[in-house]
Structure 1
């Protein structure tokens, strides 16, 4: 899919960061560089595209792994990624969980009844999030100076889907920008239809939330209660 063609692999991203790490050590010295990195926030936002790829109707990945195997592979790969970042000085992590991906317009289109979410995709999203929280606890036990803030995207998004009016949302199924059924036959392009009031919508395009919803989530990540950000929010994490 074109969605993934421009992505940079985790291994390559780590290699790039390793170069930055070495440059900081050269410029600042070893101890000041470590102090700087230990006080920096490392934002980890990953998993949604992997699961969307798996549950795409033309998926090749689903032919190689069962959902359980795939979720385990995602989590174990991420754990090694964070451990390597830790070895290169990272101590504070902001980790974003996977949202209710089965309810995005693209996944609704997988059903004959587009009013329904793809419940299988949602089920395995919750399973991945459970594994993600577990591995963060494991890492904390292995490295006591590692701290993190986990944002429960699924819980926040599900609250909005269940009671959209309370959040000022009118449309939770159809994308604001696109073409065809649910505006989900293709991505947001110059030829696409665009809704007149995007703040009424949960989804901007086939997959992504609108700017207003993203602002809601950003506020929760920074100042949210333990219902959504745990064990601490980012505001607290910064001062730890």
Structure 2
């Protein structure tokens, strides 16, 4: 049995102090993994429905018998794991700004690390997703200008609540147009948000993408009782 609480790693980074903690949930006896950036809780293995839904909803709308996919934000790996379980996924590129988070996976400090690190379809790339979106070379350092069938993004809290001010450019029409250039015809951009669906953001998406939807993802919230909700936006480029 694991310790009741253990800090597995703590490091200062350019974004702030990041820590990985494992604690045992008393009500279930399950080990819970949590990531904090300074005093902000970024993610918890107790609540993964939104991350799973991001991959499931995004990839269900993507065209093509074989899919090349980008995930923006590695975290604990639940979006990437769900993408790899999709039968049509041929390759997965996971872009993560913090090398420390990639190390957690490669060293097996998080439960999904061995699975992601050993799958030959999956490549973990350290980089700034937002800068790579704007750079003409794109997301894949081995193939400049490469285009993809789906881009799944889970980094900011929402389009209106970003971790860094410069991230906000992506959620404007110009930024979304640049991102759409990284997609093949019929390709999908899907975005996780912790806020309810935003009509203003849907309107901005609709300026760029011909098909846009907002999905309300509901899940149990056992610690406070009842249910909680996330939003997954799905936008698709025009088909040929």
> TM tier, shorter chain?
under 0.3
Provide the TM-score with structure 2 as the length reference: 0.25
Normalized per residue, which structure has more helix?
Answer: 1
Provide the TM-score with structure 1 as the length reference: 0.25
